[in-house]
């Protein structure tokens, strides 16, 4: 299963109003593990960022002047994303901007090129109703280190979101022994991440099979021949 965690930074809040993408960060997961095969683009939006947006991402207009336009990276980006599940926090925002950029190039809508889009904000609201579910809030809640996030950055935020997503969807992929501190003061919570293990199939040796059969015979003898595994299915149990 191939998944791409994606984030963008933009000149403002309105794709319909003419705001553009200035940064795209993509982090690849295969079988829920980071591969290191990522994509990161700074883009010339052909317009200045709004003052409020500059306060969020800190990417100056001057820095972006010599960066490629979206058209120059579109093939690389969409080839990388093709067929994958795309994971985005507040997906409607990023998808609207990506759709607008693709529309300007006469290309199909974003969702037509990927397997599906998963919105971690929607997931978090369902899991934690009534609570703050920003990326920073989720990092704090789930123990994800976001100390390096002083400003928003597409690649950094995608990396953080990948960790958040794994924690949000951990389910049966982790073995959790959790004794509540209220019941057992000083107890320790131990997590064993089962994704790190590939369990081998070990067959019993001939000697082990023989030893096992000998034990069964001893148990059968001790029970007077009444052990269930020795009784034929058609033979009633007295």
By annotation, the residues acting in catalysis are: 152
A 10 A CB-CB count for 171 gives 6
d(CA 5, CA 91): 11
- CA-to-CA distance for 120 and 138, rounded, in angstroms? 10
Taking the C-alpha atoms of residue 225 and residue 55, their distance in angstroms, rounded to an integer, is: 82
CB of 204 within 8 A of CB of 215? no
Of 42, 31, 35, 46, which is closest to residue 1 (Cα–Cα)? Answer: 31
């Amino acid at each position: 299963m191939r998944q791409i965690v994606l984030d963008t930074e933009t000149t403002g809040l309105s794709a319909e109003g003419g705001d553009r993408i200035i940064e795209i960060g993509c982090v690849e997961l295969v079988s829920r593990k980071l591969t290191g095969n990522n994509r990161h683009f700074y883009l010339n939006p052909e317009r200045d960022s709004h003052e409020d947006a500059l306060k969020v991402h800190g990417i100056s207009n001057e820095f972006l002047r010599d960066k490629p336009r979206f058209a120059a990276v579109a093939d690389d980006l969409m080839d990388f994303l093709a067929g994958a599940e795309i994971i985005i926090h507040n997906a409607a925002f990023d998808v609207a901007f990506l759709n607008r950029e693709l529309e300007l190039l006469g290309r199909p809508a974003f969702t037509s090129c990927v397997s599906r889009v998963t919105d971690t904000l929607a997931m978090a609201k369902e899991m934690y109703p009534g609570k703050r579910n920003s990326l920073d809030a989720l990092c704090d809640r789930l123990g994800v280190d976001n100390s390096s996030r002083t400003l928003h950055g597409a690649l950094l935020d995608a990396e953080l979101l990948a960790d958040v997503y794994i924690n949000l969807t951990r389910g049966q992929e982790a073995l959790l022994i959790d004794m509540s501190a209220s019941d057992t003061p000083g107890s320790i919570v131990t997590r064993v991440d089962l994704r790190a293990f590939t369990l081998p199939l070990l067959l019993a040796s001939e000697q082990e099979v023989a030893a096992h059969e000998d034990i069964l015979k001893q148990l059968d003898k001790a029970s007077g021949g009444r052990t269930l595994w020795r009784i034929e299915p058609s033979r009633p149990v007295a």
